[in-house]
């Protein structure tokens, strides 16, 4: 039996933060032996909001190096850069032609990002989820490991695939596989350090709102020292009145690898003055090996390039097979 296939990606908007790590990359690394894995750096998605062309390529390499540093093993997983495989753009176009406009206008992330951008919203921002559907469907992925915020995009991907199969495929022989979202139980929605009701995000103007995977220990200490808490004595999970408390305890629980009940018991009578140094130390110790490995990978650009080149060629073969089937099903002529 072939292993089920997973595909996922992160946008190369600079550094990764703890939300990207706990919601996505850490789980990719943990599942590598159970699946056939494809992980891409989605640089075409990073262009859907204003970007600086001077940094885009470097950021893509940084994110690929972070995948390796977080434990993605190139012998077990195919790592590649989305824009290196033209089939992503081509399938996005073909899927555009069968995706109703109102499906896209409903997307929460589009509405939020469009609101932030005011007048200057590009068509790419609206079309973002169709490109994401193309990423997933090209590889006939069974599972897509992502954070909670991507659930709606996954549902849209499933709807697009179903519509495609309905319109163009024999019901006995669907062309596109319907993928399942794979969302972790803890860490699926890491919240901002400065506001426990909004998610940790690369686009928050304040760097104090997030822990980046490459933050040095003194900066992590400063961020945790200053992060928002409350004046209540004792710490506990799952209190809607205490979103910051729930978030910080969850970070500690997930990074320390201890069961939730055990953590709940240990922190029940703690104050912030006792808990914050504990969290800081856990974070610093968890990120240290990632940072060391990252520096090693960045020191050897030829190694990273060879992995991306090999990844590209493996991914391209799969992508071309699906694209060929989609083109044929939609009635395009064969290129001569």
Longest Cα–Cα distance of the chain, Å, equals 73
Closer to ligand AMP by Cβ: residue 36 or 43 = 43
User: Between residues 21 and 272, which has the closer beta carbon with respect to ligand TRP?
Assistant: 21
Residues 130-169 touching ligand AMP, rule: CB under 6 A, are 146-147, 149-150
Near ligand TRP by CB under 6 A: residue from 146, 156, 160, 267: 146
Least spacing, CB of residue 135 vs ligand TRP, in Å = 4
Q: CA torsion sign, 266 to 270 to 272 to 273?
A: negative
Q: Which residues of 225-235 are buried (b: 16+ CB within 10 A; e: fewer)?
A: eebbbeeeeeb
Closest separation between CB of residue 244 and ligand TRP, Å? 24
CA angle 145, 148, 149 (to 5 degrees): 110
Active-site annotation, residues: 113, 199, 202
Structure tokens at 295: 């520096």
Q: What is the DSSP letter of 233?
A: S
Residue 27 interacts with ligand TRP (CB under 6 A)?
no
Beta carbon of residue 287, minimum distance to ligand TRP (angstroms, whole number): 21
Q: Which of 76, 177, 202, 258 is the binder for ligand AMP (CB under 6 A)? A: 202
CA distance 306 to 287: 26
Distances, alpha carbon 218 to alpha carbons 138, 211, 225, 277, in Å: 43, 12, 10, 12
Which listed option, ligand AMP, ligand TRP, none, makes contact with residue 135 (CB within 5 to 8 Å by class)? ligand TRP
Distance CA 60, CA 293 (A): 17
Distance CA 45, CA 63 (A): 14
Ranges within 106-145 binding ligand TRP (CB under 6 A) = 132, 135-136, 144
How many C-beta atoms lie closer than 10 Å to residue 116's C-beta? 10
The item of ligand AMP, ligand TRP, none sharing an interface with residue 177, based on CB under 5 to 8 Å by kind, is none
Binding of residue 211 to ligand AMP (CB under 6 A): no
CB of 48 to ligand TRP, least distance (A): 10
d(CA 98, CA 105): 15
Which one of ligand AMP, ligand TRP, none is in contact with 200 (Cβ closer than 5 to 8 A by kind)?
A: ligand AMP
Q: Does 72 bind ligand TRP (CB under 6 A)?
A: no
Is 148 or 321 the residue whose CB approaches ligand AMP more closely?
148
Checking phi first, is residue 323 left (phi over 0); if not, alpha (psi -120 to 50) or beta? alpha
Residues forming contacts to ligand TRP in the complex (CB under 6 A) are 7-9, 11, 42, 45, 132, 135-136, 144, 146, 150, 153
Residues forming contacts to ligand AMP in the complex (CB under 6 A) are 10-11, 19-20, 22-24, 146-147, 149-150, 188-190, 199-202
């Amino acid at each position: 039996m072939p292993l089920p296939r997973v595909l996922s990606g992160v946008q190369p908007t600079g550094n990764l933060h703890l939300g990207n790590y706990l919601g996505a990359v850490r789980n990719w690394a943990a599942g590598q032996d159970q699946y056939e894995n494809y992980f891409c750096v989605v640089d075409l998605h990073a262009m859907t909001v204003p970007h600086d062309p001077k940094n885009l390529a470097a950021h893509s390499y940084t994110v690929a190096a972070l995948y390796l540093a977080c434990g993605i093993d190139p012998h077990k997983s195919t790592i590649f850069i989305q824009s290196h495989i033209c089939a992503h753009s081509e399938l996005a176009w073909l899927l555009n032609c069968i995706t109703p406009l109102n499906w896209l206008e409903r997307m929460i992330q589009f509405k939020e990002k469009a609101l932030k951008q005011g007048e200057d919203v590009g068509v790419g921002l609206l079309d973002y989820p169709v490109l994401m559907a193309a990423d997933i469907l090209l590889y006939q992925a069974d599972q897509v490991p992502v954070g909670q915020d991507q659930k709606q995009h996954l549902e849209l991907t499933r709807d697009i695939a179903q519509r495609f199969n309905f319109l163009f495929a024999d019901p006995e022989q669907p062309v596109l596989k319907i993928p399942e979202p794979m969302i972790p139980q803890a860490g699926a929605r890491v919240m901002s350090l400065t506001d426990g009701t909004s998610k940790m995000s690369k686009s928050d103007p304040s760097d104090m709102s997030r822990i980046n995977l490459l933050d040095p220990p003194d900066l992590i200490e400063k961020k945790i020292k200053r992060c928002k808490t409350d004046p209540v004595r004792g710490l506990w999970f799952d209190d809607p009145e205490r979103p910051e408390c729930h978030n910080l305890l969850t970070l500690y629980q997930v990074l320390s690898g201890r069961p939730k009940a055990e953590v709940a018991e240990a922190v029940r009578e703690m104050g912030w003055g006792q808990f914050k140094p504990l969290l800081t130390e856990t974070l610093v110790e968890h990120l240290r090996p990632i940072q060391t490995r990252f520096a090693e990978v960045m020191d050897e650009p030829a190694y990273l390039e060879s992995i991306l080149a090999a990844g590209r060629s493996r991914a391209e073969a799969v992508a071309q097979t699906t694209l060929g089937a989609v083109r044929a099903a939609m009635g395009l002529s064969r290129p001569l």
